[in-house]
């Protein structure tokens, strides 16, 4: 099905279910950008299978980061609305958890096709609200789609274990079962990928799901919810609320919610972990990061410089897996001028403009923060090799743009090293040896991702064994694992026991029931009909 021919976007956003051909507006999906600006539509809540207008008196504006124009509004859901959403999840859980695993699988098989058919439409929505370039936004959807595809293998993923003949006539086996209502709290930087790490895995296991997308970028999650409904998910299996602190605390406190998945900043993640756990919930909390790329002098120079530039400045550095810190070992430091030249050639522009490489930051506050961290580097003695402040983007003078920026001669005590900058800023340190580089990284509180660039296998092996970070790339700058593995951030980057998606994701969203049964051989029915060859006529 081609999604854009199915629903009028205005009907969708306004919550009416008119079909494209019969509705009065005839807005196609591809007109979503113009429409958003013209109508500044209100974002609906998704409660019990209906897109409903909130009764809230408190609303937040959604801005296009390239222009700072208001493109929509999102409510802070009222207490009653949040309760209605959880109650709907609880009601739906009774039948959904009892739906056969094959029917759940079928729904997600249809869902992955719907997402695949509409990647471009979803990407437009992401670029509008989040700012990243269209190509990058498609990547955002694609990485989430891969998780949905993986969810379709639930019939293998949810297998239990069996051990026969534990002792005489006694067998033990386990079932994996859903746990109840689960909730997800998503950040602004990946409007498709991170929500798709959450509800598809939770739901395919038989849980129902309450999602709170980021209030800055709710549009993509609303489209994803509509598609899931169209794929056949019953009413109430997914509910969506919007808001800020009150909604987060509501999720941490409501007794019906059994598990919380969170991705976002450290202060929020620590708070949710503490408060949710105290209330007896499972919590997985992916937080801030400081990812180091180590450049060895034997690395392939061309490739390494390109990878560094892409990973530091792609998505304007607003990725927790952005390679925000480079450690040049030995004479590789002589490559810095070339790194600067390559970075200068990136085009800073609105995400929907052809050829854009670096889009805007999410908000004026984010821009001010990044600029002040750059200044702190200068003040504390770093060398500003490339300054992206005051970048001029023609036609988008009000956007939150910062161009690629490189600070060198940075030391671990500087603020620009200690803080996660979350902007297009590469911080460069130098080291005399691999051991020195490893010790810098192991002393950093975060453990999200890291990469080494080298052509020497022994160097790479030593690095992967000695560095204390959850995800390592060898000549791969952003080592976010595919969904058959898990997202294994570590140390200050993670709180919880089981990580997102992959085997650990299934563990997070299921509980195990273990059955030990004894059926004594001597009790077997012996008076069964004779199955031996009848010997008539004897």
Ligand X SMILES: *[C@@H]1O[C@H](CO)[C@@H](O)[C@H](O)[C@H]1NC(C)=O
Binding site for ligand X (CB under 6 A): 45, 52, 54-55, 80-81, 84, 94, 98, 263, 286-287, 289, 319-321, 448, 487, 489, 493-494
Output the six-digit token pair for 176: 């994996």
Q: Please tell me whether residue 237 adopts helix, strand or coil conformation.
A: coil
Told to judge if 320 belongs to the known catalytic residues of this protein, a careful annotator would answer yes
Q: From edge to edge, which strands make up the β-sheet containing 282-286?
A: 50-52, 45-47, 238-240, 208-212, 181-185, 257-263, 282-286, 494-495
Residues constituting the chain = 538
The Cα 283–Cα 91 span in angstroms is 23
Tell the smallest beta-carbon distance from residue 134 to ligand X (Å).
19
Yes or no: say if 126 and 33 are a contact pair by the CB < 8 Å rule: no
What whole-number distance in Å separates Cα of residue 442 and Cα of residue 193? 29
Residue nearest to ligand X (CB): 489
Q: Which contiguous run of DSSP H or E holds residue 426?
A: strand 425-431
Say if strands 325-329 and 292-295 run parallel, antiparallel, or are unpaired.
parallel
Q: Which helix (H) or strand (E) holds 471?
A: strand 471-474
Q: Which of the following is catalytic: 182, 220, 252, 320?
A: 320
Dist. CA 136–CA 357, nearest whole Å: 9
Q: Which two tokens stand for residue 225?
A: 């919810």
CB-wise, 313 or 328, nearer to ligand X? 313
Closest distance to ligand X from the beta carbon of 103 (Å): 10
- Residue nearer to ligand X on the CB measure, 54 or 450: 54
Closest distance to ligand X from the beta carbon of 497 (Å): 13
CB of 280 to ligand X, least distance (A): 23
**Calpha distance 392→420 (Å, rounded):** 25
Tell the smallest beta-carbon distance from residue 109 to ligand X (Å). Answer: 20
What is the smallest separation between the CB atom of 395 and ligand X, expressed in angstroms?
Answer: 30
Q: Are 424 and 403 in contact (CB under 8 A)?
A: yes
Closest CB to ligand X among residues 118, 510: 510
CB nearer to ligand X: pick between 262 and 396: 262
Best CA proximity match to 467, nearest among 483, 479, 455, 484: 479
Nearer to ligand X, 114 or 315 (CB): 315
Residue with tokens 């909130």: 54
The position carrying tokens 């500087």 is 414
Minimal distance in Å, beta carbon 145 to ligand X?
A: 16
d(CA 57, CA 70): 18
User: Which CB sits closer to ligand X, 388 or 496?
Assistant: 496
User: Shortest CA distance to 388 belongs to which of 370, 409, 415?
Assistant: 370
CB nearer to ligand X: pick between 29 and 199: 199
What is the Cα–Cα distance from 306 to 8, expressed in whole angstroms? 42
Catalytic residues: 320
């Amino acid at each position: 099905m081609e999604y854009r021919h199915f629903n009028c976007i205005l009907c969708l956003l306004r919550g009416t279910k008119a079909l494209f051909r019969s509705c009065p507006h005839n807005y196609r999906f591809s007109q979503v950008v113009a429409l958003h600006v013209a109508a500044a539509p209100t974002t609906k809540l998704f409660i019990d299978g209906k897109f409903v207008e909130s009764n809230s008196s408190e609303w937040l504006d959604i801005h296009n980061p390239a222009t700072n124009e208001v493109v929509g509004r999102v409510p802070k859901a009222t207490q009653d609305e949040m309760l209605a959403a959880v109650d709907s999840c609880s009601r739906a859980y009774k039948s959904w958890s009892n739906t056969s695993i094959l029917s759940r699988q079928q729904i997600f098989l249809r869902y992955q096709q719907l997402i695949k058919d509409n990647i471009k439409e979803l990407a437009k929505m992401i670029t509008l609200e989040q700012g990243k370039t269209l190509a990058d936004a498609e990547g955002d959807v694609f990485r989430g789609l891969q998780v949905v595809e993986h969810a379709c293998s639930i019939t293998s993923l949810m297998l239990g274990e069996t051990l026969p003949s534990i002792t005489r006539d006694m067998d033990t086996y386990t079932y994996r079962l859903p746990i109840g209502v689960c909730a997800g709290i998503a950040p602004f930087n990946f409007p498709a990928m991170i929500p798709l790490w959450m509800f598809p895995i939770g739901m395919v296991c038989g849980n129902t799901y309450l999602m709170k997308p980021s209030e800055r970028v709710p549009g993509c999650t609303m489209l994803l919810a509509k598609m899931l409904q169209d794929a056949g998910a019953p009413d109430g299996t997914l509910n969506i609320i919007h808001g800020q602190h009150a909604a987060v605390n509501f999720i941490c406190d409501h007794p019906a919610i059994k598990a919380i998945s969170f991705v976002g900043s450290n202060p929020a993640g620590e708070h949710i972990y503490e408060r949710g756990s105290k209330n007896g919930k499972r919590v997985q909390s992916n937080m801030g990061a400081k990812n180091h790329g180590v450049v060895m002098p034997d690395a392939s120079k061309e490739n390494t410089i390109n990878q560094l530039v892409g990973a530091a400045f792609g998505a304007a550095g607003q990725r927790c897996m952005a390679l925000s810190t480079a450690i040049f070992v030995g004479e590789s430091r002589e490559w810095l001028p070339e790194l600067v030249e390559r970075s200068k050639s990136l085009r800073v522009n609105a995400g929907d403009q052809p050829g854009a490489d670096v889009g805007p930051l999410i908000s004026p506050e984010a821009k001010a923060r990044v600029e002040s961290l750059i200044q702190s580097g200068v003040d504390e003695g770093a060398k500003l090799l490339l300054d992206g402040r005051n970048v001029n983007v023609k036609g988008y003078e009000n956007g939150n743009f910062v161009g690629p920026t490189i600070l060198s001669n940075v030391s671990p005590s500087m603020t620009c090293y200690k803080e996660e900058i979350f902007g297009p800023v590469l911080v460069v340190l130098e080291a005399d040896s691999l051991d020195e580089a490893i010790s810098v990284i192991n002393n950093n509180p975060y453990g999200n991702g890291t990469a080494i660039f080298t052509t020497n296998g022994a160097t790479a092996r030593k690095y992967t064994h000695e560095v204390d970070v959850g995800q390592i790339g060898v000549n791969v700058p952003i080592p976010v694992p595919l969904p058959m593995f898990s997202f294994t951030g570590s140390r200050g980057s993670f709180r919880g026991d089981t990580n997102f998606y992959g085997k650990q994701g299934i563990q997070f969203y299921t509980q195990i029931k273990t059955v030990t049964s004894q059926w004594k051989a001597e009790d077997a029915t012996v008076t069964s009909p004779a199955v031996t060859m009848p010997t008539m006529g004897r």
